[in-house]
Amino acid sequence: MWTYISRRLIQALFILLIITGVCFLLTHFSADPMSQYANKQGMTAADRAAIAHSLGLDQPLPVQYVKWLWLALHGNLGDSFFSRQPVLTLIEQRLPLTVILMSTSEVFIIIISLILGTVSAVKQYSALDNIITSFSFIGYSMPIFFIAFGLMQIFAVQFKAWGLPYLPTGADIWDPKNIGALARHMVLPVTCLVIIQVAGYSRFLRSSILEVLSLDYIRTARAKGLSARTMLFKHALRNATLPFITIIGLDIPFLLGGALVTESIFAWPGMGRLFWEYAQRGDFPVVNGVLLLTGSAVVFFTIIVDVLYTFVDPRIRLS
Partner 1 sequence: MTNQAESTNFVPTLKAEIAGGIMPLTPGQLVWRRFRKHRMALVGAIGIIAIVVFIIAGSIIVPEDAANQGDLRNRMIGPTAAHIFGTDSTGRDVFNRIIYGGQISLIIGVLAVLLEVSIGTIVGGTAAFYGGWVDAVLMRFTEAMLSIPSLFLLIVLAKFLGHDIPTIKILGRSFSGSVGIVIIVIGLTAWMYLARIVRSTMLSLREMDYISAAKSLGASDVRIFFSHLVPNTLGIIVVSSTLGLASAILTEAYVSFLGLGVQPPTATWGNMMEQAQSFMSQGAWWLWVFPSLFIVLVILSVNLMGDGLRDAFDPHSTRHM
| Whether the Cβ atoms of residue 283 and residue 81 lie closer than 8 Å to each other | yes
Residues 219, 234: Cα–Cα separation, whole Å: 14
**Does 198 sit near partner 1 (CB under 8 A)?**
no
The answer to whether residue 287 forms part of the interface with partner 1 (CB under 8 A) is yes
Is residue 260 a contact residue for partner 1 (CB under 8 A)?
A: yes
Question: How far from the centroid of its chain's Cα atoms is residue 43's Cα?
Answer: 42
Whether the Cβ atoms of residue 116 and residue 209 lie closer than 8 Å to each other: no
Dihedral, 115, 118, 119, 125 alpha carbons, nearest 10? 150
Q: How far is the CB of 265 from partner 1 (least distance, A)?
A: 7
In eight-state DSSP terms, residue 314 is T
Report if residue 279 touches partner 1, rule: CB under 8 A: yes
| Cα 175 from Cα 291, distance rounded (Å) | 27
* Residue among 110, 215, 245, 261 that touches partner 1 (CB under 8 A): 261
Q: Does 241 bind partner 1 (CB under 8 A)?
A: no
- In this complex, which beta carbon is closest to partner 1, that of residue 73 or of residue 171? 171
The answer to whether the CB of 268 falls within 8 A of the CB of 101 is yes
The site string for partner 1 over 168-187 (x = CB under 8 A, - otherwise) reads: -x-x----------------
The distance of closest approach from Cβ of residue 42 to partner 1 in the complex, given in angstroms and rounded to an integer, is 29
d(CA 261, CA 278): 15
User: Nearer Cβ to partner 1, position 65 or 149?
Assistant: 149
DSSP character for 86? B
Binding mask 11-30 for partner 1 (x = CB under 8 A): x--xxx-xx--xx--xx-xx
* Least CB distance to partner 1 at residue 109 (A): 17
Q: Report the C-alpha gap between 160 and 179 in whole angstroms.
A: 22
Amino acid at 35: S
Q: Quick check: 205 binds partner 1 (CB under 8 A)?
A: no
Tell whether residue 140 is a contact of partner 1 (CB under 8 A): yes
Please tell me whether residue 65 binds partner 1 under the rule CB under 8 A: no
Residue 39 dihedral angles phi and psi, to the nearest 5° = -110, 20
For position 275 contacting partner 1 by CB under 8 A, the verdict is yes
Rg of the chain in Å (alpha carbons): 25
Q: Considering CB under 8 A, how many residues would be counted as binding partner 1?
A: 48
In the complex, the residues that contact partner 1 under the rule CB under 8 A are 11, 14-16, 18-19, 22-23, 26-27, 29-31, 137-138, 140-143, 145-146, 149, 152-153, 156-158, 161, 169, 171, 254, 257, 260-261, 264-265, 275-276, 279, 282, 287, 290-291, 294-295, 298-299, 302
